[in-house]
Chains A and B, each alone.
With several copies, the nearest count.
Chain A
Amino acid sequence: DEPTVGVVVPTLDAQFWNSYVAFMKKGADELGVKLVVLNADNKPDQMVKSLEDLVAQKVDGIVFTPYWATAARGLTLAKEAEIPVILTDSYPDFSPQTERFPNYIAFIGPSDEDAGYQMAKALFAVIKPGPDGKKVIGVVNGTAGTSVAIDRRKGLEDALKEAPDVRVAGEVDGNFVRDTSQTAFESLFQGNPDITGVWAANGGTATGVMAALKNQGKAPGKDVMVVGMDLNPENVDAVKSGDLLFDIGGHWLQGGFALVALFDQIKGIPVPPGADNVKLKLLPLTKDRVAQFEKDFPGGVPTYDFRQHSRFYNKDAKPAVFEMQYSN
């Protein structure tokens, strides 16, 4: 009697969500869960449809990422069918385990705002002011209108408030996509060659920005500093080579953590109070930490024994959530 858990991811086009799914699959194998993964293909409507299809299948639990304000709808659907749900990645503005949605048992996600803030801080700390005494940066945002893009941008905004010596030369929309980001940033940089730092909204965006810089004969990490987010393997490589100043991430683990908690819930062990609303602290990465990172997280993945964290298998398991931390 393997329980069936349904997962809906916003897209599979991006490496981030593939890592998320891969980690969950590993967990499902270890825990003995049948995992049904559905792809919303970047469409809000398909997200809702996929949730409906999971409910129609009467899965035992659902993990989904409520992009495009789909939280309320998804939770309502699941509530009618009495299916427990854990939301990941994007916080929906209402807390878990309330009367409205008793089946909404937990939220696990990163603080995008915090990540955006940390990226900005790391960037501001390194770049040098120009002739007018201002540090000039360019901003390449994520897909306009997604909560992730908005929250990260909010973090940047907070950092900007604290740094009056930083001037934003311009902002473009990179759509979280490498080639779009490259083209958009090329133009931005042409218009503002005084830019010495770039805040890029995710991994693909940062890679696009670095390609644009190289293409114009600039060395990322020397002439222009770039910060990004996601800890995708190529981002780690870029940090290692010094092209990328700072990266932060690891939050694709959230799905696996959610799976453990949901599995226990299905098996009759509720999520302990206090562990139902987790904002993951993300793992920052700079060049000097790369060696440590590779040692601690071979292949980018922490050693994580799912059964060890499941209270069904291990009575006095530590909380499912395990923040990526350097060993020293």
Chain B
Amino acid sequence: METNETSSATKTPNATGEPGVNASRFEVVKRGFPLAMLVLLIVIFSIASPRFLTFSNLLIVLQQGTVLLVAALGMTFVIMAGSIDLSVGSIVALAALATALTADSLGAAAIIPAIAVGAVAGLVNGVLLAKGKVPSFIATMGAMVVYRGIVLLFTRGAPVSIEDEQFLDVYTNRTLGIPHSVIIGLVLMVIAYGIINRTVFGREVRAIGGGERVAILTGIQVARVKVYMYVLLGALCGIAGLLQGARAMAATAQLGEGLELDVIAAVVVGGTPLTGGVGSVVGTMLGVLIITLLSNGMNMAGVDPYLQNIVKGTVLVCAVFVTIDRKKIGIIK
């Protein structure tokens, strides 16, 4: 027990048992875990419900997962940098409201206010963290309450419905059988993948998560990168809010409540640790699929609603238990 802890739970060089080639082979296996988890769920649900593995249901799953995916893409950056955002659900509600209020006059262009509102909310979060030095957990916990309060104050609880034909056409119709929202989600995923893996900004975010003090002393503009990263998350939540609004054909004060937990869970299940420094867009997508499939599958299989949350929580913990890469994380808080 004792020695065991010393050698495995540490962030030392020695923590890796097998260096070089083996290590990377091992990592490939680890990376396979979320995928294996997903396949397992698919197998189980296919057995439980004959309609589960149909094209139309899988399309529904994709559609259901899109809002989560879009927000989770942004969250991947924030978590990769070692921070967190609890306000995403509220930003989604704010953006959905902006969409609903403008869709009738702007049509599909209502995406502009949606993104703008999301980006501004993200900017506030980013500034609170990077300039105000308020820890992101607390800053965004406060923001969560405030943004939701603003939505409530505006709507006084009355839903604002979206009826503009052109708007609904653009964001809810299908092309070649694929819903536009899914296409938007996939495009954003490719972009996020590119940003994380191919841009200087993505590398800077990762460096901040890997070692913030090192990043500062190496001349990375840590505060600015953090602000940008929250703006990016905010803007993505803006789009998520628009899609959510389009899906529900209305904005309500409760929209996106509790979404933050699903978003964080998706990112972490996908293999991006809360300690930062590592982040995978593909993993996040798998995490989103796991979470979405889980609830779709349980609904399809007719699992007792009184049991569903118990199952969901258990699977979440198990998923992280198997996917987490303890070699990379060292100290687990």
Contact = CB atoms under 8 A, between A and B. Distances in A.
A129 to B, nearest CB: 21
A252 to B, nearest CB: 11
Contact of B302 (A150, A182, A191): A191
Contacts of B54: 56, 190
A172 interface: yes
A299 to B, nearest CB: 12
Interface in A188-203: 188, 190-193
Interface in A218-242: 232-234
Contact of B152 (A43, A73, A144, A188): A144
A72 interface: yes
18 contacts: A12-B156, A15-B159, A36-B302, A48-B248, A49-B299, A52-B60, A53-B300, A55-B60, A56-B51, A68-B250, A69-B161, A69-B250, A144-B152, A147-B159, A178-B252, A178-B254, A211-B250, A216-B60
Contact of A72 (B52, B161, B306, B308): B161
A58 B54 CA distance: 12
A328 B30 CA distance: 71
B137 to A, nearest CB: 21
Contact of B51 (A52, A58, A179): A58
B295 interface: yes
Nearest to B50: A191
B51 A44 contact: no
B12 interface: no
A89 interface: no
A149 B49 CA distance: 27
Contacts of A60: none
Contacts of A53: 60, 295-296, 299-300
Given A150-B157, A170-B299, A190-B296, 14 more contacts: A15-B158, A18-B158, A22-B156, A39-B305, A39-B308, A52-B64, A68-B250, A73-B247, A145-B152, A145-B157, A150-B156, A173-B305, A179-B256, A191-B301
Contact of B305 (A169, A171, A191, A232): A171
Interface in B242-270: 244, 247-259
Tell me the dominant secondary structure on chain A's binding face: helix
B253 A145 contact: yes
Given A12-B152, A18-B156, A190-B300, A44 B57 contact: no
Interface in B294-333: 295-297, 299-302, 305-306, 308-309
Contacts of A38: 299, 305
B248 A141 contact: no
Contacts of B244: 45, 179
A170 to B, nearest CB: 4
- A-B pairs, 8 with minimum CB distance: A145-B157, A191-B300, A69-B159, A145-B253, A187-B299, A69-B250, A18-B157, A53-B299
Nearest to B247: A48
Interface in A120-161: 141, 144-147, 149-150
A204 B251 CA distance: 11
B248 A41 contact: no
A183 interface: yes
A192 B302 CA distance: 10
Nearest to A9: B305
B94 to A, nearest CB: 14
Most chain B CB within a 10 A radius of its CB, from A52, A54, A56? A56
B258 A72 contact: no
A37 interface: yes
A38 to B, nearest CB: 6
A306 to B, nearest CB: 21
